[in-house]
Amino acid sequence: MRAKRLAPLAIAAATVLILALLYATRPTLERVEPERAIPTVRVVQAMPQTLRHLVRSQGTVAPRTEANLVAEVSGRVLWIAPSFASGGFFDVDAPLVRLDPRDYELALERAEAQLRRARSELDFAAAELARQEGLSTGGVASVSQLADARRAANVAEASQLDARAALEQSERDLSRTEIRAPFAGRIREANVDIGQFVNRGAPLARVYATDYAEIRLPIPDDQLAFLDIGPPRPGLPLDVDRAPVRLSAQFAGQLTEWNGYLVRTEGEIDQRSRMVNIVARVEDPYRSGATTAGVPLAVGLFVHAEISGPEVDNVIVVPRYAMHDGNHILVVDANDRLHRRTVEVLRIDRDEVLVVGPLAEGERVCLSPLQVVVEGMQVRAIEDDMPRADLPGAPPT
């Protein structure tokens, strides 16, 4: 009976002993300060450069002159040139179409005969007038006879003038049976063939000149500041003459480039787009090889243009995403400390920013986006392995 009473006490004592033993043998925890997380950032060294401004635009190639080739006389088509077809080339004053000339040859013969007749009548009338003047001086001819002789001489002279004009008209009509273009060019569309009868004024073909091509390039007016142009003059277009332009397009499955230059600005700003239109020219786009690839600059081709502007010195190009608050960048010093730097933004162009100001060569610019920026915070800098030539704004090669 006594043993049953002591059993709970024995269990309680054993439990206390075990707890005391566990507490006495517990592991000791060392107090460790948490390690600060240092952000890793990508950096690139600032490299001041001399760059040339580029203004980009795009447009469609158009001929400098396009017109209808029109028949000036009527007739049946007897001959067409081998190149008289859509896409055919022709030289200046080369015959393209010949009409039946026989009616005009006959008209020319009649005009020549009429002129000989008029000359004969004039010679006779002049001789009769001289005779009547001699008789009048001797008192033999009457006043009315002398007046009739003078009238006949005047009529004969007028008839000769009319016959000479008719002969010249016949010669011109005969020459117009051979139709030529006043410029070297290309045929856009041919409308006649051998055997067809055409009337005066009928369009025979649509042709355009190929001595040079023009591209109308719209640009925002604020981009004019980055072109090498003269100062504005009242009442005159901006002086953009001969500024270099590089054109490019995908043609025949490959990227092709052509070289041209600016020739003028148009006289007004587009009311809808608020753009200034400037015109670039490429000389002899089909035959002289305006590009090293020998690919022609075809009319109607949509091209991209890069217009060269003036050079600027000591410019540093940084990616647009490296800018903060418009005109601030983050610089990492030699101790890997982060600092905010205010710079002068010269130009923002697509994904690149051209800056000048207090940024020395070799200073490291932070490219990585950071959620929190504290002046002087420690970072771990990793040099960007992107080649310098691939950075936005690198000078073209």
Instruction: Specify the amino acid at residue 142.
Output: S
Domain count, the chain: 4
Q: What angle do CA 346, 349, 354 make, to 5 degrees?
A: 35
Question: Reading across the β-sheet that carries 197-198, which strands appear in turn?
Answer: 178-180, 95-99, 75-80, 197-198
Domain identity same for 240 and 291:
yes
DSSP-derived pairing of the beta strands 344-349 and 352-356: antiparallel
- The per-residue pLDDT for 6 is 65
CATH number (domain holding residue 325): 2.40.420.20
Domain assignment of residue 11, yes or no: no
Domain identity same for 76 and 200:
yes
- The per-residue pLDDT for 59 is 95
Domain assignment of residue 26, yes or no: no
Domain assignment of residue 330, yes or no: yes
Domain assignment of residue 161, yes or no: yes
Provide the strand spans (E) within 199-253.
203-209, 212-220, 244-251
Domain assignment of residue 34, yes or no: no
Domain identity same for 255 and 291:
yes
CA–CA distance, 13 with 18 (Å, rounded to integer): 9
CATH number (domain holding residue 131): 1.10.287
Domain identity same for 263 and 216:
yes
* Domain boundary residue, one of 311, 337, 356: 311
Domain identity same for 266 and 152:
no
pLDDT tens sequence across 152-176: 889 999 999 999 999 999 999 999 9
Positions in the chain whose pLDDT score sits under 70: 1-7, 9, 23, 26, 28-36, 138-141, 229-241, 287-294, 385-397
Domain assignment of residue 366, yes or no: yes
Cross-strand partners of 96? none
- The per-residue pLDDT for 186 is 93
CA–CA distance, 192 with 129 (Å, rounded to integer): 56
Domain identity same for 135 and 216:
no
* Domain boundary residue, one of 311, 343, 370: 311
Domain identity same for 168 and 239:
no
Domain identity same for 229 and 191:
no
Domain identity same for 159 and 234:
no
Domain identity same for 159 and 216:
no
CATH number (domain holding residue 195): 2.40.50.100
- The per-residue pLDDT for 79 is 95
- The per-residue pLDDT for 388 is 43
Domain assignment of residue 292, yes or no: yes
pLDDT tens sequence across 347-379: 888 888 888 877 888 889 998 888 888 888 888
The secondary structure of 327-396 as a DSSP string is TEEEEE-TTSBEEEEE-EEEEEETTEEEEESS--TTPEEE-S--S---TT-B-EEEE--S-GGGSTTPPP
Domain identity same for 218 and 296:
yes
| Residue 135 C-alpha from the chain's centroid | 81
Domain assignment of residue 139, yes or no: yes
* Domain boundary residue, one of 263, 282, 311: 311
Domain identity same for 228 and 191:
no
319 and 392 Cβ atoms separated by less than 8 Å? yes
CATH number (domain holding residue 307): 2.40.30.170
88 and 95 Cβ atoms separated by less than 8 Å? no
Domain span holding position 228: 56-64+211-311
